[in-house]
């Protein structure tokens, strides 16, 4: 019976320890912050003139919606100049092709004339050789020397054939080279035309950027330009926010700095609507002590100081831009692990 009572006492002591652990084993760190969305500044890398603005601050837009129509002052002039140069180079290419064909025709005619002239001489000698041979065959007595003599007409014919080959071959090579150049389109203006084409492609690509569109669904922040206004390169035209906040910038009091670490998970709760809440993860902390914004102080008239904390939250939340949120971080106290180890024995 006594042994049974001892077990009951041990169980009750264990339950008491667990209750003590639940009450005192954890510590809640609470501070405030602002819900913020990632801000995107929309600008261009060249000076422009604003033609028409399609949106206003606070307007919700969807990906691909037209925000601003702009033009570049010297954009049209550059395109027209390239088109003019292209037309000139095309005319030069036509002229080059015409000259090449004319040169081919000239060399072909020269080769044909040379072939005709030498071939005519060869045919005349061949006819003369045949006549002489026939006369010799009709003679009754023919003097035949001990060594065969070389026919002078044959020598001349062979000489003319070599002359024909040596004269015609360079012309043929030159004609073939010109024809190959014509097939490849190796016009001197071709390289310039390719360069101008690359420039035109660049301007065509840049032209598509002159109609500024929303990069994704979101909300227009500030509009820094006016219609018919000239804007410098890289000057901000519009600020753009995502639809829902994706981060919270909080300020933890300097007395609680050691309770907060990067990687801690906490709960973000709307200050006005407690049903709007979500989990967040601390992703960064400031490197110095700063003044906590008045709106986030318990007593707005009393200056307090702390450390800036950045918390990443999922985009599927109901917070508004710059909405005040309460941040609850539950951490184990220094005695919690000891109590937990003690409780495990029961």
Shared-domain flag, residues 45 and 35 = no
Q: Is residue 133 part of a domain?
A: yes
Label the pairing between strands 39-42 and 238-242.
Answer: antiparallel
Closest to 83 (Cα-Cα) out of 202, 224, 196:
196
**Backbone conformation region of residue 322, classed left if phi is above 0, alpha if psi is from -120 to 50, else beta:** left
Domain tally, the chain: 3
Closest to 237 (Cα-Cα) out of 76, 72, 67:
67
In order, the DSSP letters of 172-204 are HHHHHHHHHHHHHT--HHHHHHHHHHHHHHHHH
- What is the distance between the alpha carbons of residues 274 and 294, in angstroms, rounded to a whole number? 21
Q: Is residue 80 part of a domain?
A: yes
- What is the distance between the alpha carbons of residues 43 and 336, in angstroms, rounded to a whole number? 54
- Which residue's structure tokens are 């753009």? 240
- Residue 316 in contact with residue 246, Cβ under 8 Å? no
Task: Check residue 122 and give its pLDDT.
Answer: 79
Residue 149 half-sphere exposure, CB side, CA atoms within 13 Å?
A: 7
Task: Check residue 14 and give its pLDDT.
Answer: 61
What is the pLDDT tens value at each position of the chain, 346 positions in all?
545 456 565 656 665 555 555 555 567 899 999 998 888 899 888 788 888 999 999 899 999 899 998 887 666 677 778 888 888 888 888 888 888 888 888 888 888 888 778 888 878 877 777 877 777 766 645 555 544 555 787 778 788 778 777 877 888 888 888 888 877 777 777 778 888 888 877 777 666 667 888 988 888 989 999 988 888 888 999 998 888 899 999 999 999 988 999 999 999 999 999 999 999 999 999 999 999 999 998 888 899 999 999 999 998 898 988 899 999 998 765 444 444 444 444 4
Kindly tell me the sign of the dihedral angle through the C-alpha atoms of 154, 155, 156, 162: positive
- Residue 309 in contact with residue 32, Cβ under 8 Å? no
Q: Is residue 17 part of a domain?
A: no
Domain end (from 205, 224, 257): 205
Shared-domain flag, residues 96 and 124 = yes
Task: Check residue 115 and give its pLDDT.
Answer: 79
Shared-domain flag, residues 164 and 139 = yes
341: part of which helix (H) or strand (E)?
helix 336-343
- Give the structural domain span for 249: 27-39+242-335
Report pTM: 0.47
Label the pairing between strands 66-71 and 277-291.
Answer: unpaired
**Residue 64 is part of a domain; what is its CATH number?**
2.40.50.100
- Residue 254 in contact with residue 306, Cβ under 8 Å? yes
Q: Is residue 218 part of a domain?
A: yes
Would you state the structure tokens that stand for residue 330, as one six-digit string? 């539950």
- What is the distance between the alpha carbons of residues 281 and 247, in angstroms, rounded to a whole number? 9
Q: Is residue 256 part of a domain?
A: yes
Shared-domain flag, residues 121 and 136 = yes
**Backbone conformation region of residue 234, classed left if phi is above 0, alpha if psi is from -120 to 50, else beta:** left
Shared-domain flag, residues 126 and 63 = no
Would you state the structure tokens that stand for residue 114, as one six-digit string? 């040379």
């Amino acid at each position: 019976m006594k042994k049974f009572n001892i077990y009951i006492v041990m169980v009750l002591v264990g339950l008491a320890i667990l209750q003590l652990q639940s009450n005192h084993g954890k510590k809640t760190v609470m501070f405030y912050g602002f819900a913020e969305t990632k801000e995107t500044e929309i600008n261009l890398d060249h000076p422009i003139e604003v033609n028409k603005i399609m949106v206003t601050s606070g307007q919700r837009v969807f990906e691909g919606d037209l925000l601003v129509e702009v033009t570049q002052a010297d954009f049209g002039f550059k395109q027209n100049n390239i088109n003019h140069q292209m037309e000139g180079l095309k005319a030069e290419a036509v002229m080059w092709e015409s000259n090449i064909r004319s040169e081919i025709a000239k060399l072909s005619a020269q080769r044909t004339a040379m072939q005709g002239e030498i071939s005519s001489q060869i045919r005349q000698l061949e006819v003369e050789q045949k006549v002489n041979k026939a006369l010799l065959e009709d003679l009754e007595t023919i003097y035949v020397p001990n060594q065969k003599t070389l026919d002078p007409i044959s020598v001349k014919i062979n000489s003319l054939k070599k002359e024909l080959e040596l004269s015609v071959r360079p012309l043929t090579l030159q004609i073939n080279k010109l024809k190959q150049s014509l097939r490849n389109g190796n016009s001197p203006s071709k390289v310039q035309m390719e360069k101008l084409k690359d420039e035109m492609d660049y301007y065509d690509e840049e032209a598509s950027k002159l109609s500024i569109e929303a990069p994704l669904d979101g909300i227009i922040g500030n509009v820094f330009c006016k219609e018919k206004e000239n804007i410098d390169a890289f000057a901000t035209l519009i600020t753009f926010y995502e639809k829902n906040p994706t981060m919270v910038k909080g300020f933890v009091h300097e007395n609680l700095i050691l309770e907060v670490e990067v990687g801690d998970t906490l709960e973000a709760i709307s200050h006005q609507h407690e049903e709007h809440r979500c989990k967040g993860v601390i992703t960064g902390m400031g490197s110095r002590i700063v003044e906590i914004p008045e709106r986030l102080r318990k007593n707005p008239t009393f200056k307090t100081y702390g450390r800036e904390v950045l918390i990443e939250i999922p985009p599927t939340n109901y917070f508004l831009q710059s909405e005040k949120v309460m941040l609850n971080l539950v951490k184990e106290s220094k005695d919690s692990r000891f109590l937990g180890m003690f409780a495990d024995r029961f």
